[in-house]
Amino acid sequence: MWRDHLTEIIVFSLLFLLVSAMGFVAARWRRPKDMAHLDEWGLGGRSFGGWITWFLVGGDLYTAYTFVAVPALMFGAGAAGFFAVPYTIVVYPLVFLVLIRLWSVSHRHGFVTPADFVRTRFDSPVLALLIAITGIVATMPYIALQLVGIEAVLKTMGVTGESTVARHLPIIIAFAILAAYTYQSGLRAPALIAFVKDSLIYIVILVAVIYLPYKLGGWGDIFDAADAKFQASPSPNDGILLNGNNQLQYVTLAFGSALALFLYPHSITGVLASRNRDVIKRNMSALPAYSLLLGLIALLGYMAIAAGVKPLPGASAGSVDNNTIVPLLFDKQFPDWFAGVAYAAIGIGALVPAAIMSIAAANLFTRNIYKEYLKRDASPAQEANVSKITSLVVKVGAVACIVFLDPQFSIDLQLIGGVIILQTLPAVALGLYTRWFHRTALIAGWVAGMGLGMWMLYQVASPTKKHFGGSAFPLEKFGFDTPKTIYVGIVAVLVNLAVAALLTLILRAAKAPEGVDGTTPDDYFADEGDPRVTPGVERDADSAREPVA
Amino acid sequence: MPAPEPEAPTTAPTRAKDHSPWNWLLFLPIVVPLIPAFFNGDAPRIFGFPRYYWLQLAWILLGVTTTTLVYQMTKKRGGR
């Protein structure tokens, strides 16, 4: 019952109201001359310095779902769940090498989305449209998942009801507030709120990793308790260490997730909003502080085992919702008021990424669908306006996903999201280095990778379901005689690359038209203070040609 | 990889600003954390943490050290 959790609910609500107020005030923070421009609303004026970028990108990549789902995975499967640590170590050097070039070329040409870049680089509106749609489709379930994070907290506090509407009312209200201040303040809102969110999370986790082991008998006991649990379970693939069969999956999942992470539109939005190249480079050294945090959060899963936490029942009868173990652990071990702070950290932790993701998806729609196909001569003010409205639509869609569909469906979609966003790697990430690939070959590679990825995900079974049971694909389905598994995304993107490379050679030989590269090698090193080729949207003044549809 | 260069611009001098050999160092924190042979074991334990956990957390330091080093070295070399 919710009455038993009154202190927690009051603390949670107060902190929630505080950040909502901050979200509205954010419109005045670092106030621009003219908010009616996509650079201002959607990228915070491209002016964020080191600290803001650190909080913004950190708040963006480490979502509420991460905080809830990673320990849940550790709780259920053990060592395999720790992939989040290598994954977030590997991602920063990659950004250091790759996304910095995207920052430069976007700064010069006024690109707002990765699809803008692809459009100019490969002179192909079709390829850009595919990239944009991939980004939007991959982001939508990610936003919905943030709600799963809040819901796990609300469920633990007993804020739940019998009817569909009563159960979801708190979330609908929370998202309505979020939608309102994102509409008004744009990227400035999550940037400002991220300060509160991350400070709360750091406090909660520091307290948790010092106080909980002390209460539970020390780290050694915690690991031994986890070991005992996995020894007793009948499943062969759990344990506090990896075994011979899931190492390949572990490594490919960590690497594939790292590649996917920086291709997601919302991470690119965070990077493009920074002031100069130095800010990004310095941040790549400072952001791993969050990886340490994530590693410690992951271990909360083992603490829950040692503390004897039993997860709350899931949506369908007989199932359990492992996502509730962290909130339950806090409820059981912390005093009420501090559990309230911890819940607020998770709840607010959902709002920051949800805001950035909806902005990123809205920018993709505005720049690469609305402006490209619906209104070619849209003014910057119209662009900003369309983005604001789209961000509302995106959030309504995310809430609808949670209210009308089984949350499990969003989790499946998010799994698919990681695999499909990886298929933009050849055009976006390799495109930053080389224009060797032919635009038509890139489209074909995308189709091949997408098709194969979907088929493989469909084939993966889990103990509870026949299809879409995870991302670990058993190699025996390819005809290999082995019990080893591999991450679907890696296989799909390799096939994508192979198809793109092969077709490029063929199209070259056939002398198929390649279009004109709108960028110059020099663009990839431009830094702050560098004159823009054209401020805003129209570009390629020197090549003097009309964009072809 | 031959990248076609349409109407080669005259602003070539700033090119290769990023092409520092130090950048190769960044492959270290990309490759090392992905080799399970290093970390997939229990002994030795440190503060109760099996090697699997403390060593993977220690790779974070490896990442921070290399990115910081590369940033510092390439900053000077850029000569801006």
Whether B48 sits inside 8 A of A517 (CB atoms) is no
Please give the interface size between A and B, counted as residue pairs whose CB atoms are below 8 Å apart: 136
Q: How confident is the model at residue B10 (pLDDT cuts 50, 70, 90)?
A: very low
Residue B79: per-residue pLDDT: 45
Contacts of A222 in chain B (CB under 8 A): 48
Dig out the tokens for A122 from the structure: 């490969």
Asked if pLDDT for residue B80 goes beyond 60, the answer is: no
Residue A434's identity, in one-letter code, is T
A403: tokens are 């209210």
Q: pLDDT tens-digit profile of A194-238? A: 888 888 888 888 888 888 888 888 888 899 988 888 888 877 778
Average pLDDT over residues A388-408: 80
| Mutation site, B23, B26, B64, B66, interface A, largest A CB count within 10 A | B64
> What would the two tokens of residue A272 be?
């493009």
Among B residues 12-31, those touching chain A with beta carbons less than 8 Å apart: 12, 14-18, 23, 26-27, 29-30
Percent of chain A whose pLDDT exceeds 90: 11
- The DSSP symbol for A541 reads T
Structure tokens at B63: 């990442």
Residue A486, strand partner residues:
A473
Contact A521 B5 (CB under 8 A): yes
Euclidean distance between CA atoms A187 and A56, whole angstroms: 9
From chain B, the residues in CB contact with A100 under 8 A are 18
Tell me how far apart the 2 most distant CA atoms of chain B are, in Å. Answer: 63
Q: What gap in Å lies between CA A257 and CA A85, rounded to an integer?
A: 11
CA B68 – CA A130 distance, rounded (Å): 36
Measure in Å the smallest separation between the Cα of B30 and chain A Cα atoms.
5
Q: Cβ-count burial of A483 within 10 angstroms (0-12 exposed, 13-18 middle, 19+ buried)?
A: middle
Question: What 3-state class would DSSP assign to A486?
Answer: strand
Mutate which: A94, A96, A282, vs B, most B CBs within 10 A: A96
pLDDT tens digits, A106-159:
988 888 899 999 999 998 889 999 999 999 988 888 888 888 778 778 878 877
CA–CA separation, A278 vs A274, rounded Å? 9
Q: Find the farthest-apart pair of alpha carbons in chain A and give their distance in angstroms, rounded.
A: 73
What ipTM was reported for this prediction? Answer: 0.79
Predicted pLDDT at A548 = 40
Contact at 8 Å (CB) between B55 and B38? Answer: yes
Q: Is B6 on the interface with A (CB under 8 A)?
A: yes
Q: What is the mean pLDDT of chain A?
A: 83
> Which among B18, B59, B67 has CB closest to A284?
B67
Confidence of residue A446 (pLDDT cuts 50, 70, 90): very high
> Out of B34, B42, B60, whose CB is closest to A254?
B34
Q: How confident is the model at residue A424 (pLDDT cuts 50, 70, 90)?
A: very high
Q: For chain A, what percentages of helix, strand and coil (3-state, to nearest 5) are there? A: 75, 5, 25
pLDDT band at A544; cut points 50, 70, 90: very low
Average pLDDT over residues A443-450: 93
Tokens representing A244? 């011979």
Which has more pLDDT, A51 or A102? A102
- pLDDT value at A373 more than 80: yes
For A2-405, which CATH class? mainly alpha
Mean pLDDT of all residues in A461-479:
78
Give the C-alpha separation, A281 to A299, whole Å: 29
pLDDT at A318: 65
Tokens encoding A68: 């809830």
Per-residue model confidence (pLDDT) at position A293: 86
The pLDDT tens digits of the residues spanning A248-299 come to 888 998 899 889 888 999 888 888 888 888 888 888 888 888 888 889 889 9
The answer to whether B23 contacts A292, with C-beta atoms less than 8 Å apart, is: no
